[in-house]
Structure 1
Amino acid sequence: MSRLTLIIFLIQPLVLMACNQNTAPLAAPPPAKVTTARPLVLPVIEWDEYTGRLAAIDAVEVRARVSGYLQSTHFEEGQLIKKGDLLAIIDPRPFVAELNASQARIEEAHAKLAESKSLLKQSQAERADAAAQLTLADQRVSRVQQLARKNATTQDDVDVSKSEKSQAEASLAAADAMIESSNARIKTSEAAIETAKANLEAAQLNIQYTQIRAPISGRISRRYVTEGNLISGGSEQSTLLTNIVSVNPIHCYFDADEQAFLKYGRLSREGTRKSSRDVKNPVYMRLIDEQGFPHIGHMDFVDNRIDPNTGTMRGRAIFANNDDTLTPGLFAEVRLPGSGRHDSVLIPDSAIGSDQSEKYVYLVDSEKQIKRQAVKLGPIVKGLRVIRSGLDGSEVLVTHGLQRVFPGVTVDPTLETLKATSGSGLPDDYEPVPPEKWLTRRSAPAPPGISSNIHQTGAQTSARSNGGQ
C-alpha cells in the first residue's frame, strides 16, 4: 500500500462523520416582494387613434385658356397669393387684332342692315307705283271694252290695254318679290349683327384670358414654363403653368377599419355617441414632432361605402391653419371620440402580462396569494390602460414584479396608489361642434332659374340608418 492511499483511507471516515454531524433541513425562501395597487375607476372618453394625411381643400392647376406666347410672369415662387392676383400674361396682340376685326364686322353688318332697309323702302315705293299702274290699266281695259262693244275702237286698242294691264300686274308681283327679298336681307343683316356681337364678346374674353389670374387664394408652386415659350390653352392638353393649394382651413384624411365603423354605427343607434354624418364631432390632431394635441377641428365628411380593396371607410376632418404650420402632404396623428362618457377601469400597462392566447393580470387575494385573471384591453386613457372586461375595480393587482410570481405563490405586497395623468391633452368629455364654429364650406345656392336637387332631410335620414364615424 502506498503512502497516498494510506492517507486517503485514514481521512475518509473523518469526512463522513463531519458530514453527518452538519446535515440540517433547508429553510423556506421568503415571500417575493411585489408592488400592488387597486385599479382606478374614472369617467372617461375613449379616443380612437388614427394616422392621417393632410390635404388642401382647394388645389388648382393653373393653365391658360388661350394659346399664344408667354409674355411675362408676375408671382414669387412658393409664396402666398390672393384670389385675383395677376400670375402671367400671354401676348395679347393677336387677340386685340381679332377684337378690332369683330368690331369692324359689326359696323359692316349695321351698314348692310341700313342698305337692306333702304331697299325695302324702295321696293315698297315701287309696289305702290305698280299698284297705281295696275289700277289705271284696269280702268283703261274697262273703257276700251265698252267702246269695243259699240264698235267705237279697234281690236288693237283692246289688245294694247290688256297688255298694259298684264305689265302692271307683273310689275306689282316684282315689287312684292323685292319687298320679300328686302325683308330677308334685313333679317340676314340682323343675324350678322348678332353673330358679330358674339364674336366681339369672344374676342373680349380672349383678351381677358391673356391675363392669367389666381382662381383661389393659397400658396403657389414654382414656374413650370418660362417667358417666351409657346403655350397651348383651352383644352385638356393645355400647358401647365403652375399650381396653387389653399392653406386655411385644411383637411386631414384617415381610414377606419370595418370593426371601428360598425362600432360607431352601433353607438349611434344606442344613442351613446352621435354619428359624424349627423353632427360635427370634435377631432384632435398633432404632427409627429408635437406634444399633446394642439390642433382642434371637427369631422367634415364620411364616405358612402367601404373600400373593397382595403376594407376601410374613408373619413375626413377639417382644421384651422391660421399660423400656416399645417402643410398639405404631412402625416398626422388623429384622435376621434370612440365612445360616450362612461366609467372605466384603468390600470398601468406594467401590470399586464401576455401569452399566446390572452392578456392577463395577477391578483392578490386576502391570503396574499397570487391568482391569474384574464382581461380584455381597451385604449390608453390618462396614461392608463382601459380594461373592457375582467376587472371591476375592487381587486388588488400586481403592478411591478410580475416576473417573480406565478399563480398560487404567496407574496409580500406593498400597496401603492395609482394616479391618472393628463399628458395627452385630450378632454374628459366632449360635445358636437356648434354650427357657428364649423369650418366646413357651405354649399352654394343654385343659380337663378336652376332648380336645386339637394334634399338635406333625405340625406340625413339615410345617414342615420347607415351609421357613420
Structure 2
Amino acid sequence: MQRLSLWARPLLGVWLLALVVTGCGTKASRGPSPGAGPPPKVTVAKPLVMETLDWDPYTGRLAPIEEVDVRARVSGYLESHHFNEGQDIEEGQLLFVIDPRPYEATLAQANAAREEAIARRQQSEAMVREAQARRQQVSAQLELTQAQLNRARPLLPSGAISDDEFDELVAAARQAEADAYAADAEIESASAAVVAAQAAIGTAEAAVTSAELDLSYCRITAPISGRISRRNVTQGNLISGGLGASALTTIVSKDPVYAYFDANEQALLKYIRLDQQNKRTSSRDAKTPVFMALADEQNFPHQGYIDFVDNRVDAATGSIRARAIFPNPDDVLVPGVFVRMQIPGSGDEQRVLLPDSAISTDQTSKFVYLLGEENKLVVRRVTTGAISKELRVIESGLDGSETVVIKGLQRCRAGQAVDPTVEEIQPGDDLGLPDKYEPVPPSKWLQPAANPVETPLRAARQPARYTEGASR
C-alpha cells in the first residue's frame, strides 16, 4: 500500500493541474452573455397593397371543333384517291372515286323506266280523248232517237205509224242511252289510266333521283375544310357503304380549336359564390377570358374564352367538364396536345401582398413578425391566399399599414429588439396576365351565339322583364 501511494501521488498532481488549466480555458472562451450583444439586423417593409386578380391554373387538352370520319355511302371498288395524306384540304375537294359504272347503268335503267311511264301517260290521255269523242257521237245518236220517238208517239193512236215501227224507235232510244253510259265508263277508265300513269312517272322520277344520288356518292368530297389524315383503304379494294361502313379517312378543322379541362367541386363552388357576390359572372352567362400556353412557351400568349360548362359533376371523378375556345391562325395549336391554362379565380379588388419569405409557420397557423415600439417584434397571425405578382395574398390579419419583417427571420423572436433596414416590396411578373376581370365582348367571339327557336313552353319559362318606371 505504501509503495502504491508513492507512485500515485505524482500522477494525481498532473491530473489536477490539467483540470485547472482546462477549466480556465473554457471559462475564457465563453464570451459575453446574450443580453450584452447588438440586436440582430433584419429587413422590414410595408405590405404591398394593390388591385390584383387571382388566376387559377388548369391543365387541358386541345380538340378540334369539327371532326369528320369520311365514309362511303355506296358500295363498290375504290377506283382512285385525290389528296395528299396529312395535308390541308378545302370543303368540297374531291377525295375518293368509287367505280361509277354499276350506278350509271342503274341511272340509265331508271331514266328508261321514266320515259316508259311518260309514254303510258300520253297513251292514257289519248284514250281519254278518244272516249270523249265517242261519247259525243253517242250523245248525238241519243238526241236523234229521242226526237224520233217524241214525234212518233202522237202518231201511234191514229195508226199513222205501226206498232213495230214505234217499238224500233223505243229500242233505238234505249240503245243510245246504253251507249252513252258505256262511253261515260270508258272515259272514267281512261282517266284512271292517266292517273296511274302519272303515279308511275312519279315513281320513275324518284328512282331516277335515287340513282343520281348513288352515282354522285361515287365521288366522295370533303364535307369540311381542315387537315386530312392518312388513307385507311387503298385503291382497288371493295368497300361497303351505308350504315356500318368503315372510315376511309378523318378530317379535323384547325381554326379555331377547343381546349377541354376539368374543375373540381371546390373550384366549382368558389365560382358559384363569386357569381352570387357579383364579383365574377358565371361562365354560363358571360364569356370568361382564358389564357393558355403550350409546353415550350413562356407566359400565356394565347387568349380565348370559356364557351361551355357541363350540366353536372361527374360522379366518378368528382369534377365538372368545361371548354374554352382559342383562335389558331398560325396552326400552332394541334388537337390532342396538353396545354397550361389560367382562368380568373376572383374578382379584381385591393389586396395585401407579401413575399413568401416573410411568412412563418408553426404547428397550427401562419404568422408574420411586425415591427413594434422600440423596434421590438410582435407576432401577428395571418390567413394566406393565392400567389399574385409573385407575392402571397394575405386574406386576413393585415391591412397594409403595418411594418413586416421580410428578411432575417431566422434570428427573430417575439418581443426581441432588432436593427431594422427598410426596403420596398416590388411586384413581380404576373406571367402577362391582366389585373382586371372583363368578360369577352361579343365583337371578339369566335363563334356566333346560338339563336334558339322560340316555343310557347320556352316563352312561358322566360322571366318577366321590367323597364324603369314600369311598376309605378
1:334 to 333, 337, 341: 341
CA-to-aligned-CA distance 1:141-178 (integer Å, 9 cap, x gap): 44555555345555544544443333322221111111
Q: Assess, with a 3 A threshold, how the Cα gap between structure 1 residues 203 and 418 changes in structure 2: closer, same or farther.
A: same
Give 1:121 shift: 1.0
Counterpart in 1 of 2:194? 186
Give 1:297 shift: 1.6
Counterpart in 2 of 1:9? 12
2:325 to 318, 331, 348: 318
Range with bigger deviation, 208-217 or 421-430 = 421-430
Opposite residue 313 of structure 1, the aligned amino acid is I
Opposite residue 101 of structure 2, the aligned amino acid is R
Q: Assess, with a 3 A threshold, how the Cα gap between structure 1 residues 258 and 292 changes in structure 2: closer, same or farther.
A: same
Give 1:364 shift: 4.2
1 CA distance for matches of 2:458 and 2:33? 77
Secondary structure at the counterpart of residue 149 of structure 1 = coil
Opposite residue 349 of structure 2, the aligned amino acid is H
Secondary structure at the counterpart of residue 141 of structure 2 = helix
CA-to-aligned-CA distance 1:31-54 (integer Å, 9 cap, x gap): 555444332112212222222221
2:48 to 21, 25, 40: 40
Counterpart in 2 of 1:285? 292
Taking the TM superposition and a 5 Å limit, the aligned residue runs for 1:339-378 are 339-355=346-362, 357-378=364-385
1:212 aligned to 2:220?
A: yes
Q: Assess, with a 3 A threshold, how the Cα gap between structure 1 residues 4 and 177 changes in structure 2: closer, same or farther.
A: farther
Q: What TM-score comes out, normalization by structure 1 length?
A: 0.86
Q: How many residues align?
A: 456
2:156–2:162 Cα contact (<8 Å) kept: yes
2:388–2:430 Cα contact (<8 Å) kept: no
CA-to-aligned-CA distance 1:326-359 (integer Å, 9 cap, x gap): 0111111111222332211111222333455433
Counterpart in 2 of 1:301? 308
1:90 to 78, 89, 98: 98
2 CA distance for matches of 1:379 and 1:395? 21
Taking the TM superposition and a 5 Å limit, the aligned residue runs for 1:396-411 are 396-409=403-416, 411=418
Range with bigger deviation, 196-205 or 265-274 = 265-274
1:203 aligned to 2:211?
A: yes
Give 1:95 shift: 1.8
Taking the TM superposition and a 5 Å limit, the aligned residue runs for 1:230-249 are 230-235=238-243, 237-249=244-256
1 CA distance for matches of 2:456 and 2:425? 54
Q: Assess, with a 3 A threshold, how the Cα gap between structure 1 residues 352 and 192 changes in structure 2: closer, same or farther.
A: same
Secondary structure at the counterpart of residue 168 of structure 1 = helix
1 CA distance for matches of 2:381 and 2:103? 81
Q: Assess, with a 3 A threshold, how the Cα gap between structure 1 residues 16 and 79 changes in structure 2: closer, same or farther.
A: closer
Range with bigger deviation, 19-28 or 281-290 = 19-28
Counterpart in 2 of 1:271? 278
Q: Assess, with a 3 A threshold, how the Cα gap between structure 1 residues 354 and 78 changes in structure 2: closer, same or farther.
A: farther
Name structure 1 gaps, 5 residues minimum.
463-469
Q: Assess, with a 3 A threshold, how the Cα gap between structure 1 residues 116 and 20 changes in structure 2: closer, same or farther.
A: closer
1:258–1:312 Cα contact (<8 Å) kept: yes
Give 1:296 shift: 1.3
Q: Assess, with a 3 A threshold, how the Cα gap between structure 1 residues 192 and 19 changes in structure 2: closer, same or farther.
A: closer
Opposite residue 119 of structure 2, the aligned amino acid is A
1:261 aligned to 2:268?
A: yes
1:258–1:313 Cα contact (<8 Å) kept: yes
2 CA distance for matches of 1:310 and 1:454? 38
1:126 aligned to 2:134?
A: yes
Counterpart in 2 of 1:149? 157
Counterpart in 1 of 2:397? 390
1:110 aligned to 2:118?
A: yes
1:426 aligned to 2:410?
A: no
2 CA distance for matches of 1:441 and 1:280? 12
1:92–1:207 Cα contact (<8 Å) kept: yes
Secondary structure at the counterpart of residue 284 of structure 1 = strand
1:277–1:460 Cα contact (<8 Å) kept: no
Q: Assess, with a 3 A threshold, how the Cα gap between structure 1 residues 36 and 211 changes in structure 2: closer, same or farther.
A: same
Q: Assess, with a 3 A threshold, how the Cα gap between structure 1 residues 403 and 20 changes in structure 2: closer, same or farther.
A: closer
Give 1:116 shift: 0.7
2:91–2:225 Cα contact (<8 Å) kept: yes
Give 1:410 shift: 5.0
Give 1:442 shift: 4.2
CA-to-aligned-CA distance 1:234-277 (integer Å, 9 cap, x gap): 32x12211111111111112223333333333333433333333
2 CA distance for matches of 1:359 and 1:272? 27
Give 1:99 shift: 1.9
Opposite residue 102 of structure 2, the aligned amino acid is P
Counterpart in 2 of 1:27? 32
2:86 to 65, 78, 83: 78
Range with bigger deviation, 374-383 or 304-313 = 304-313
1 CA distance for matches of 2:249 and 2:427? 52
1 CA distance for matches of 2:337 and 2:321? 17
2 CA distance for matches of 1:425 and 1:459? 43
